[in-house]
């Protein structure tokens, strides 16, 4: 599974190499626009939202889709964080049982 993070293009930093600065949740990243391009109606430009994965803008998305995705990632992050901090005792006991069984072998 791949995870793409929405980011908004704030600057085309190198037209020749198709590189841009993207604001992803307040963090500026340098990404390649080579998969999207800069020209034509589907080309990327300043102000556009893109889905970034491994340093590449994979696709242009609209602002509504970007917000929906960011909300989902935030919710997932909260769920994940909650799962880590609210571990149930039976899981911890089972982990202890497995560790003890491994030492007996």
Q: How far apart are CA 42 and CA 14, in angstroms?
A: 18
Structural domain tally of the chain? 1
The rounded distance, in Å, linking the Cα atoms of 23 and 32 is 13
Q: What is the span of the domain harbouring residue 23?
A: 5-104
CATH of the domain at 51: 2.30.30.140
In this prediction, the residues of the chain whose per-residue pLDDT falls under 50 are: 80, 84, 87-92, 94-95, 98
pLDDT for 79: 65
Q: What is the pLDDT of residues 59-77, one digit of tens each?
A: 999 999 999 988 888 888 7
Contact yes or no for 52/7 (Cβ under 8 A): yes
CA 14 to CA 84: how far, in whole Å? 42
Q: Can you give the pLDDT at residue 15?
A: 94
Cα(50)–Cα(61) distance, integer angstroms: 5
pLDDT at position 72 is: 85
Q: Which two tokens stand for residue 43?
A: 């080309």
């Amino acid at each position: 599974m791949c995870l793409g993070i929405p980011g908004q293009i704030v600057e085309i930093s190198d037209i020749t190499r198709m590189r841009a600065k993207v604001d992803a949740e307040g963090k500026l990243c340098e990404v390649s626009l080579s998969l999207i391009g800069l020209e034509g109606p589907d080309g990327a430009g300043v102000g556009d939202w893109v889905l970034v994965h491994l340093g590449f803008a994979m696709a242009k998305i609209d602002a509504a889709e970007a917000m929906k995705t960011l909300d989902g990632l935030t919710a997932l992050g909260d769920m994940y964080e909650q799962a880590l901090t609210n571990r149930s005792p039976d899981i911890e006991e089972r982990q202890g049982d497995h560790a003890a069984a491994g030492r007996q072998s």
